[in-house]
Structure 1
Amino acid sequence: MASKLKLVIKLSIWCVVIASHAQITYPKASPFSLVVQEVGLSKITVEYSRPAVRGRQIFGHLVPYGRIWRVGANESTKITVSTDMEVMGNLLPKGTYAVYAFPELDAWEIAFHTNTGHWGDGRKEYDPQEDLFRIAIRAKEVRYHQENFLIDFDSITHNKANMRLRWANTQLVIPFKVDTHAQMETEIREQLAKNPTAQTYYEAARYLQEQGKDYPRALDYLNKALELGGDTYYFHRVKSLVLAKMGDYASAIQSAEKSLKISSELEKDEFVRMNEANIKEWSTLVREP
């Protein structure tokens, strides 16, 4: 009896060993992809799999109309936003969500779903009450062929980005918005409350200049940057741009000339060209009555 028990144990161990070595790692038909897109000070991260067309009819056939789709293959597509965002008037709080689609011939519904534990589309386990919200998007037919399903971002600024879903000859565009200016104002306030350097003041001023906001405050920051850091070609360069926006072209030219002199000495050719072009432009405006 004991010998039989030992034999059973040995066979069991042998089966486990064989099973553990029987796993074959093979390439996936729909490979995983990770997209990370910065939008201002925020990030949008998308994790999804990319099925291919392979000569098949996609929407309305492989992906039926009127039925939930996982927006890719394998696991459900996940989207993570590092800060609160807005999607077509809906608040998307900081966090991770599953993204599902309900394709139709023209108008689709896209669901941002709070339950990220489903495999694929969840099928019977999917509960619409766990949707954070849904948006309606009109699908657009495009000329070019997208072989592998693709999620990417375009039209990116500090405050917004368009997420594009593309497969075969169909494209959907989902706009995301983020209040980067409010984040930057908090960042500027916190950094200036510590022990600000010349670079701190310059970066705050440059942000305001690039965004076309509060030029008098930007000028004050630039003057402090110059006071702490001395003559610097890019400090004077941004100061000239701010002064020009404030309509003080004579002072703008003076700052541009200082930037031109220093950048010439340092062989910063790009700054030389930009300053020369601005001086020429602003000189005509100064002469105007």
Structure 2
Amino acid sequence: MVVERRLYFLFGLLLGLGFAPASAQLVHPKASPAQTIIQDVGLCQVQVSYSRPAVRGRQIFGNLVPYGRIWRVGANESTKIKFSCPVRIAGNKVPAGTYALYAFPQEDLWEIAIHKDTTHWGDGRQNYSPQDDLLRFTTYPQTRTTVTENFQIGFDQITHEGMDMYWRWDRLELRFAIEVDTQAEMEKQIATALQNNPTAQTYYEAARYLQESDRDYSRALGYLDQALELGGDTYYFHRVRSLVLAALGRYEEAVAAAGKSLKLAEAEGKDEFVRMNQKNIEKWNKLKD
């Protein structure tokens, strides 16, 4: 009996000191799984971390997500968006950094908030302060014919200068533009690179950027001529040169450049470039007449 009393005493002492027998803790899957997406745009990167609730037969907007009240743009924690460089949203400057995304849905229009305080759980409710909004802007939801079961954030219409961010859930889609100033940064890089022993590839990359940006074709042509002079004939130098000449309306020269690219690509087994050049030659031959 004495031994038993001593054991009970020791057990109670251990509990009092915070030592308890180990117990199994379940790690269960979340009903609204987390996702992080990363998208490069121009020279910037945008990262979004959010959770993806499902429709599961429920009425979503105006019910599960009430109109006229703050929404966390997903589930669980607040949705975070991170910009690696300054951007513009709805004409407003947004410095590089991490922000919380909130929405204020209405039936016909939504307010979107880029919020500086990222510490709130979910939508913050009473702790949320509009004074911590970096900006708010309005956008208009559209109705889609297909259902998106799990809430989805994504990007499309991506160019060197920006992209659309879209949200889809149930039959609703909402989107807005994110703009980046790639041109200013690229012009700085081009100027610096051309002052420091530029190679054929340097000139080619500068020309390719201008061609893909649909601007300054005469300068791009000069860079390509320099690339050919320094680096010799390559199928990709001549291909971009053909595209630049066509953009300048010089279709006969564009056909000749595409012909050179085709032969060089054929010799290297680059079938896709052979086909692309053939298609362009056919198109430009009609335009030059």
- Taking the aligned partners of 2:65 and 2:258, their CA distance within structure 1 comes to 59
Amino acid paired to 1:266: E
Contact 2:206 2:220 (C-alpha < 8 Å) held by counterparts? yes
Distance of 2:287 and 2:53 partners within structure 1 = 58
Whether the 8 Å contact between 2:115 and 2:134 is mirrored in structure 1 is yes
Matching of residue 172 in structure 1 with residue 190 in structure 2: no
Amino acid at match of 1:101: A
Q: What displacement does 1:7 show?
A: 4.9
Greater shift in the superposed pair: 271-280 or 190-199:
271-280
User: Matched residues in 1 for 2:193 and 2:86: separation?
Assistant: 22
Task: Identify the residue that residue 27 of structure 1 maps to in structure 2.
Answer: 29
**Percent identity among equivalent residues?**
56
1:232 maps to 234
Q: Distance in 1 between matches of 2:35 and 2:272?
A: 38
Equivalents in 2 of 1:170, 1:246: separation in Å?
Answer: 43
2:85 maps to amino acid: T
Match of residue 11 from structure 1? 15
Q: Any idea what SS the aligned residue of 1:37 has?
A: strand
Change in Cα spacing, 1:147 to 1:280, as seen in structure 2 (3 Å) is closer
Q: Which amino acid aligns with 1:78?
A: K
Instruction: For 2:45, give the aligned amino acid.
Output: K
Deviates more, 1:244-253 or 1:79-88: 244-253
| Long gaps (5+) in structure 2 | 1-5
Task: Select the residue among 250, 254, 257 that pairs with 1:255.
Answer: 257
Deviations 1:182-219 (A, max 9, x none): 22222222333333221121111111112221122111
Map of 2:3 onto structure 1: none
Paired residue type of 1:230 = G
What residue in structure 2 maps to residue 158 of structure 1?
A: 160
CA deviations on 1:87-141 (whole Å, 9 max, x unpaired) are 1111121111001111112111111000001111111111100000111122222
State the Cα RMSD in Å.
2.2
Q: Could you tell me which runs of 5 or more consecutive residues in structure 1 were left unpaired when the two chains were aligned.
A: none
**Secondary structure, counterpart of 2:273 in structure 1:** helix
1:265 is aligned, of 251, 263, 267, to 267
| CA deviation string 1:76-96 (max 9, x = no partner) | 000011111111111121111
Compare 176-185 and 117-126 and name the one that shifted more: 176-185
* Alpha-carbon distance, 1:28 to partner: 0.8
The total of aligned residue pairs comes to: 283
Matches of 2:154 and 2:58, distance apart in 1:
23
How far apart, in 1, do the equivalents of 2:96 and 2:121 lie?
23
Do the aligned partners of residues 107 and 252 (structure 1) sit closer, same or farther apart at CA in structure 2, a change above 3 Å counting?
Answer: closer
Counterpart-to-counterpart distance in 2, 1:142 and 1:173? 13
Question: How do 1:119-268 and structure 2 match up within 5 A?
Answer: 119-268=121-270
Cα separation, 2, equivalents of 1:281 and 1:137: 40
Pick the aligned partner of 1:42 from 13, 22, 44.
44
Q: Relative to structure 1, is the Cα distance of residues 138 and 279 closer, same or farther in structure 2, using a 3 angstrom cutoff? A: closer
**CA offset at residue 177 of structure 1?**
1.4
What is the identity, as a one-letter code, of the residue corresponding to 2:197? N
